Amino acid sequence: MAAAEAPWGWQWGEARALGRAVRLLQRLQEQCGDPRLASSAPSLPDLLPRIAQLLRQVAHARRAAGGDDAEGPGGARDFLIVYLHNLEAKSRQVAALLAPRGGRSANDQLFRESSRLRRQLAKLALIFSYMHAELGALFPKGKYCGHTYQLTKARAHTFWREHCGARCVLPWAEFEWLLCTCHPVESGCTALALRSTINLTCSGHVSIFEFDLFTRLFQPWPTLLKNWQLLAVNHPGYMAFLTYDEVQARLQTYRDKPGSYIFRPSCTRLGQWAIGYVSSDGSILQTIPLNKPLFQALLDGQKEGFYLYPDGKNHNPDLTELYQMEPHPYIHVSEEQLQLYWAMDSTFELCKICAESNKDVKIEPCGHLLCSRCLATWQQSDSQTCPFCRREIKGQEAVSILSQVRPAEARATAEDPKESSDQEDGEEELGQVVSSAPPLPPQLSASPAKGQLKVQQWTPAVLLTGQQAHHPLQDLRLHLSKYSAFCSIAALSKRSSPATPI
């Protein structure tokens, strides 16, 4: 592990290394003075001071903690060794591009569109944007949380924690070996390509943050590497390390061929895809499909006539086999939960926000369930936080809830080996159940005001949220009340009691 090669111990060396990195970034920032560099995202003049600021916060928090928190292998210290080493290497590459051979000003070629130097600089800027996001995710406000970081996709999270424990970073070779236990990787070129896709910061290591992004981009989990193979390796429309501006420039070539398209991982909304395409009137548009796997967005777009010619080529790869492989995961409802809901004269399936539709979507990573209509309304009205617990919504997954059964039947279901959440059995199977019951929504203390949507009151065993003065659910109720038709249907709906077994 990298720690064994550490050139410095925590007490003295790490603080010095952090300080050196900050100074290096400051010098680089001075070199980025040319206004032509302050283009659209990712912008180095914008990123460099933000990374430096985060590093200062890390140094401060590490000093305060005495350097002894989460110091196991692959913990904060090992991560920083890998990170700072990589940061230094990439900073030197940028410096060399900005002032070649000791010259004082940047080479003019750097500002010529589609020049090789410009391409290199754009790629480095993207790497810096990933490094900034990675540091912020593992050290929010400087404090290390890599050991508790939760991956967005539940099964990816289970995989990481079962195989890598509390580590937040490990060398590529070890990671590849571990991944093989679950998703076989061919050696040679394929493994190299996989490494370059996963290891966005090009450090030679894989962090939990990078794996999170990869598993979001190439969801669903059961066919992770198959998805990657079809969507990245074999797909002419896939563009790694391309910026917004570069996509615009590339699609200019195909302006007379509407339906031409390319796609890239978004650098502003990490873990999501940005698809650029030439519309029927020849304009170039870029869009971020929300809440669906890429293959599904591409198939939908193909049906609608938007995504027909990947990178201008006539042959559009057939992705339907991925579609066929994607079942909705089932949500397992425990007997205890069933009884709890029955006691409240309700059913588990019913969306607890509108009390009208059944739950059919799971918010990631917190796991709260609601109906997709309520989620869509909520996302239009609010920031990207869960209406139940306010955690960031990083994704959503369509789910099916196992039909509600009487307690005796529920027990039988839970004991059915086919429905078990056992990782070994479930790993290669499609349609497996979620490994644990979803969290219950928090209790609402306030009664709905007159004219507002009636929200069911319940007394869950677990209270997940803090005591916010203004609960987000109330905000949502208020917002929903504007939709009168929707509201009146929901308000009028009477839930029959007790739940009828289906």
* Interacting residue ranges for Zn ion, rule: CB under 5 A: 351, 353-354, 357, 366, 368, 371, 374, 386, 388-389
In whole angstroms, the minimum distance from the beta carbon of 289 to Zn ion comes to 22
Closer CB to Zn ion, residue 127 or residue 480?
480
In whole angstroms, the minimum distance from the beta carbon of 28 to Zn ion comes to 40
In whole angstroms, the minimum distance from the beta carbon of 398 to Zn ion comes to 14
How far is 220 from 224, CA to CA, in rounded Å? 6
The string of DSSP letters for 394-406 reads -EEEE-EEPPP--
Is residue 260 a contact partner of residue 309, using CB atoms and an 8 Å limit? yes
How far is 296 from 328, CA to CA, in rounded Å? 13
Closer CB to Zn ion, residue 11 or residue 436?
436
Is residue 411 a contact partner of residue 335, using CB atoms and an 8 Å limit? yes
In whole angstroms, the minimum distance from the beta carbon of 326 to Zn ion comes to 23
Closer CB to Zn ion, residue 224 or residue 354?
354
Helix (H) or strand (E) segment spanning residue 260: strand 260-265
CA angle, 477 as apex, 472 and 479 as ends, to 5°? 95
Structure tokens at 9: 């111990």
The residue type of 437 is A
Closer CB to Zn ion, residue 423 or residue 435?
435
Closer CB to Zn ion, residue 197 or residue 396?
396
Closer CB to Zn ion, residue 127 or residue 386?
386
Closer CB to Zn ion, residue 242 or residue 440?
440
In whole angstroms, the minimum distance from the beta carbon of 498 to Zn ion comes to 21
Burial of 213 (0-12, 13-18, 19+ CB in 10 A): buried
Closer CB to Zn ion, residue 250 or residue 359?
359
In whole angstroms, the minimum distance from the beta carbon of 172 to Zn ion comes to 33
The 3-state secondary structure of 32-70, one letter per residue: CCCHHHCCCCCCHHHHHHHHHHHHHHHHHHHHHHCCCCC
Closer CB to Zn ion, residue 151 or residue 386?
386
Closer CB to Zn ion, residue 207 or residue 357?
357
Which residue in 294, 264, 257 sits closest to 278, CA to CA?
Answer: 257
Sign of CA dihedral 442, 445, 446, 448: positive
The residue type of 306 is F
In whole angstroms, the minimum distance from the beta carbon of 469 to Zn ion comes to 19
In whole angstroms, the minimum distance from the beta carbon of 154 to Zn ion comes to 13
Structure tokens at 53: 């600021």
In whole angstroms, the minimum distance from the beta carbon of 350 to Zn ion comes to 8
Please, what's the b/e burial string for 310-338 (b: 16 or more CB within 10 A of its CB; e: otherwise)? bbbeeebbebeebeeebeebbbbbbbebb
Burial of 439 (0-12, 13-18, 19+ CB in 10 A): middle
Sign of CA dihedral 43, 286, 326, 369: positive
In whole angstroms, the minimum distance from the beta carbon of 148 to Zn ion comes to 16
Structure tokens at 160: 């990481």
